[in-house]
Chains A and B, each alone.
Chain A
Amino acid sequence: MSEPDIIIVGAGPGGLAAAIAASRTGLKVEVIEQRHAPGGAIYRQPVDGVEPVPQAAAAKRRWQSLSTRFAESGVPVRTHSVFLGIDGDGTFLIDDRDRGKLDRLQPRGVIIATGAVEKVYPRPGWHLAGVSTVGGLQVMMKETGRAPQGRILLAGGGPLLIAVAAQMARLGNPPVAIVEAGDPAKELAAGLQILISPGLFAEAFSYLRTVYRHGVPWLRGHRLVSIKREGQDLAAVIEDRKGSRRRILADRIGLHDGIRPNDFGMPPETTVNRAAPFVIHAGDCREALGAVAAEADGERAGRMMAGLLAHGRHEINELEELVARNRRSQAVLARIFAPVQSGSLLDGLTDETILCRCEGRTVGDLRQLCSRPDPLTGREIKHNGRFAMGACQGRFCAANTAALMARLRPDIPAPAPGDLIGRRWPARPVSIGTLVGVPPHAEGQDEVLR
């Protein structure tokens, strides 16, 4: 098999659209995907033998069209394959987890389409067992076809809370409440503007109807300020816009404060000619604007890459317009869901609040480092505070650490999360056995503490 000209990392809407566009020019394209099937987080496919979770009609249509066009393109997908990075010699590294083997490729172009990750602000108790992200609960539902069991509380902000609540309700276990920082019902004028993208409106309306029908309390203008374990229960403290507090008991809590590009440890974009491959970012990992924009942006990236490699012209104006339209819709959504209460959750955190879950580093540890007379760089904070040094490689803490640093030291330029994470490979932890050509054994796994 000859080596691909272009490798696309991630088989969500951005990656698949990029693959379709790039393959039209006759270049050899391949997609690598860490999960068992294409789809990404938005069109996550169930594992074998499981009924798919009910989805909004518009989303279903989009996936049908995209997956059909992708199948017609004939572009192969390597599943269970994790992109580790591009090494110092320009070699593209893949962790083939099915075979426990490292693949080294020399593509001429790489499109990074690794989607978005959820933003979750730290809160006292957010690291406790039973607390996860709302998106994590949704992925589990999509893969298993079942709602999470027990009393589930969803908290944070944004349209995903409603969507997941509706999906849970349709699967027979609606959440005990939705704690929403914004007050979308009040933002009527903005709400009308969302009509500029009717698809979004229909989806939102159908989810809201389901949530309403199941009588799920939608606590707008509220925020979850802390979580405690009390016996078998997780006790969440909820604060309303006047500052009065109450407790809600749950078995599991999902948190979600928005999304951001999943570009952790990814090689930066480069479209100048050099020994290493061209790199273009596409879709949510470039700018988190949702599935519709990701598909358009993927097509843009695919055409651009084909143009770079074939030295041909590429027409991307209409795609950039489509992305811009989605950017405007997302801005409207952000306004609708803007937190009602002033002041960031980051400001009121107790010193004991965990910031980095892997290494157990706290808000107090960061405050202490930031109280020195000389302002430390992101790298020094990382080294001396051990932030972004754990097994998650900074995925959970880097953005929060950078944001909190910016608030603690407004006198110095704020570090980017990437300054804390760095851009060294492996982008994901990889078995040493894989790197030296010894397939992994089942035993020995218990050796590893997460």
Chain B
Amino acid sequence: MRSSIPQTAIVIGSGIVGAAIAYFLTRRGIRVQLLEASAPAAEATGAADGAVSVASKRPGPMMVAAIAGVALYRELEHEGLFAGLFKSRSTFIVATSDEECAVLEAHADALEQAGVRIERLTGGALFEVLPALSPSTRLAVQVHGEGHAIGYQIVHRLLTAAGIVVDRHTPVNALLRDANGRALGVETHKGQIKADVVVIAAGTGSATLLGLADILIPRKGQLLVTERAPRLNAAFAGSIMSGRYLMSKGNRKPGAPTPARGLGLVIDPLVTGQFLIGGTREDHGDRRTNDIGAVSQILADAVALVPQLVHVRLLRSFAGNRTAVLDGLPLIGRVPGLDNAFVATGFEGDGICLGPIVGRTVAELVCGEAPSIDLVPFDPARFKSGMVAA
């Protein structure tokens, strides 16, 4: 392992992960050049639901990482860096059918085992805490200590704090490497740029740089924003997540095929008095449009959970592509075969929650420090066959 701290670094991609890596590297005194194919937060980060949440994570390394991710948001809010950008709130996972109740009970056990503070709400207590919920709700699991943050605001704050001027519209065509397994820098249309280390956090764009086209999958999500509805918003003690979300997110039976369009409902009350309602997980290509079929299905599900939403108006719809990895776990770590190149991508829907903690951990890795989270499960070497064909 390298022990000396590098002086310069190139970070490719200014989504939340790239921005956080750049921030934590800068904090260690490393001169960072942040290269961006278009503009900061232009892709998944700018179209995310903003959940800083353990609630829906699968038990295992993702749940552990998310717990650290939420804790870091709190720490950075306390420190002042994220002041005003992190809304502290609970997540309520709700179940309306036998099947959902069973999945939710098992999930609640897993959360408790991981040390997450939860509460099971049923009957009168349930509607006292969540008066806006449909009477057909059977069970809610309150996951304490979670929050919401808007991805593009976090990116803006990180870049501002680091004093980084992003090289916009500077896509990277290739990594430059020598014969001894070291990265020298990158090739862009503006010419070659050299640095001591290279970090790739380019979302779906990482696929071509690393030869991972078959492993990184764009997974589209559609999201909705309502107008301000302050009274209804005030009746939300936190975000409401349909228990079905757990089923759409990876608690499906092993071997079951991924549906072309999954729908997991989250209704998040925003600080503005608006609601963010989402979303879909769709594996058909790279389209960023919203279709009425998905939008009315999301809203019908939302109204079924919170009937009063029927009176609120929809203000905006948007869509974006998350970068998913074939096996459902992100890629974080050293690029196989390259001593001083690193990758952090493939967070699917968890980039906002995990971005800062991954930024800190990658900076630690780059500087030869002990990583804040265990990166072994996320080691990119598990896909060695595809890595760096260039």
> Interface residues, chain A, CB within 8 Å of chain B?
87-89, 91, 93, 102, 104, 359, 372-374, 376-377, 379-380, 383-384, 389, 391, 393, 422, 424-426, 429-433, 435-438, 440-441, 443-445, 447-449
Q: Which residues of A are found within 8 Å of B165, using beta-carbon distances?
A: 373-374
A377 and B313 form a contact (CB under 8 A):
no
- A–B complex contacts, Cβ < 8 Å, 27 sampled: A87-B290, A88-B291, A373-B165, A377-B168, A379-B42, A380-B41, A383-B153, A383-B156, A391-B227, A391-B315, A393-B316, A426-B317, A429-B313, A429-B314, A430-B313, A432-B302, A432-B313, A435-B296, A436-B303, A436-B310, A440-B310, A447-B231, A447-B232, A448-B313, A449-B227, A449-B229, A449-B273
Is residue B127 contacting chain A, with contact meaning CB distance below 8 A? no
Given A379-B39, A384-B153, A433-B311, 16 extra CB contacts under 8 A: A88-B289, A89-B289, A102-B292, A374-B165, A374-B166, A376-B39, A380-B41, A380-B152, A424-B318, A425-B290, A426-B314, A426-B317, A429-B315, A431-B311, A435-B314, A448-B311
Indicate with 1 or 0, residue by residue over B151-176, a CB within 8 angstroms of chain A CB atoms. Answer: 01100100010000110100000000
- Complex contact A393–B291 (CB within 8 A): no
CA distance A430 to B228 in the complex (A): 13
Q: Is the CB of A447 within 8 A of B316?
A: no
Closest chain B CB from A185 CB (angstroms): 46
Say yes or no: A383-B152 contact (C-beta < 8 A), given A424-B317, A436-B296, A436-B303: yes
Given A374-B168, A384-B153, A447-B231, answer yes or no on A436-B313 (Cβ-Cβ < 8 Å): no
| Any A CB within 8 A of the CB of B123 | no
Q: Which residues of B contact A (CB under 8 A)?
A: 39-42, 46, 150, 152-153, 156, 160, 165-166, 168, 226-232, 272-273, 287, 289-293, 295-296, 299-300, 302-303, 308-319
Chain A: CB-nearest residue to B156: A384
Cα of A436 to Cα of B166 in the assembled complex, Å: 43
Q: How far is the CA of A448 from the CA of B231 in the complex (A)?
A: 8
B residues within 8 A CB of A447?
229, 231-232, 308, 311-312
Identity of the chain A residue whose Cβ is nearest the Cβ of B157 in the assembled complex: A384
Task: Compute how far the CA of A408 lies from the CA of B140 in the bound complex, rounded to whole angstroms.
Answer: 51
Once the chains bind, are B290 and A88 in contact (CB under 8 Å)?
Answer: yes
Contact A377 B39 (CB under 8 A): yes
The residue that B309 contacts in the complex, of A91, A432, A437, with Cβ under 8 A, is: A432
Whether the pair A391, B228 counts as a contact (CB closer than 8 A) is: yes
Chain B residue nearest to A382 (CB atoms) is B152
- Cα–Cα distance between A424 and B319 once the two chains are bound (Å): 9
Q: Which of B152, B227, B308, B317 contacts A425 (CB 8 A)?
A: B317
Interface class of chain A by DSSP: loop
> What residues of chain B lie closer than 8 Å to A425, measured between beta carbons?
290, 317
Interface of B (DSSP majority class): mixed
A432 touches which one: B150, B272, B292, B310 (CB < 8 A)?
B310
In-complex Cβ contact of A448 among B153, B227, B295 (8 A): B227
Q: How far is the CA of A424 from the CA of B156 in the complex (A)?
A: 23
Instruction: From known contacts A384-B152, A432-B303, A438-B303, infer whether A91 and B314 are also in contact, taking CB-CB under 8 Å.
Output: no
> Which 8 residue pairs of A and B lie closest in terms of their CB atoms, listed nearest first?
A88-B289, A444-B311, A429-B313, A433-B310, A374-B165, A88-B291, A383-B152, A436-B300
User: In the complex, which residues of chain B have a beta carbon less than 8 angstroms from the beta carbon of A89?
Assistant: 289, 291-293
- Which chain B residues border A441 with CB–CB below 8 Å? 311
A436 CA to B231 CA, complexed, in Å = 22
- Chain B nearest CB, measured from A30 CB (Å): 19
- Closest Cβ–Cβ distance, residue A367 to chain B (whole Å): 15
Residues of A within 8 A of B231 (CB): 447
Of the candidates A379, A393, A426, which one forms a contact with B46 in the assembled complex, judged by CB atoms under 8 Å apart?
Answer: A379
